[in-house]
Structure 1
């Protein structure tokens, strides 16, 4: 059987380390946080409509002073999933 003392020590050190802060906030989440309730509700409706592409949404937001890339919109649409942003669903 393999010696696991080194592994146990390494895992224990990881568990005992202070947690690092998460990375930057989702771009779409940041934009939504700066807008009024009515506008946010409309954007959320469009985000949930898969008939509207992430590129179209990004273009509309960017064209109105809220620069964002289509990939960020797509990631926000997948929020709650393993490959989505950390915004709540």
Structure 2
């Protein structure tokens, strides 16, 4: 914990403890704003890199083929379940 009385290098009398704490708060604010600005710059650079480097089409085509195969498999499973449900239905007369 920072003792405001130990900040004598600011050459402020003891009655100016509020001013000393205000200076500390200002320093912390400046550091926080610097970090925030740096993060914003990094986000802009990442967005530029995404736009300059389009995704690999071969990877996308492979993923789409895999998704198509999965959809076809699931469609077949659903149709099989429907057939079995109609055949094994306890409500069937």
* TM-score w.r.t. length of structure 2: 0.29
Larger radius of gyration: 2
Query: Higher RCO, 1 or 2 (CA under 8 Å, sep at least 6)?
Result: 1
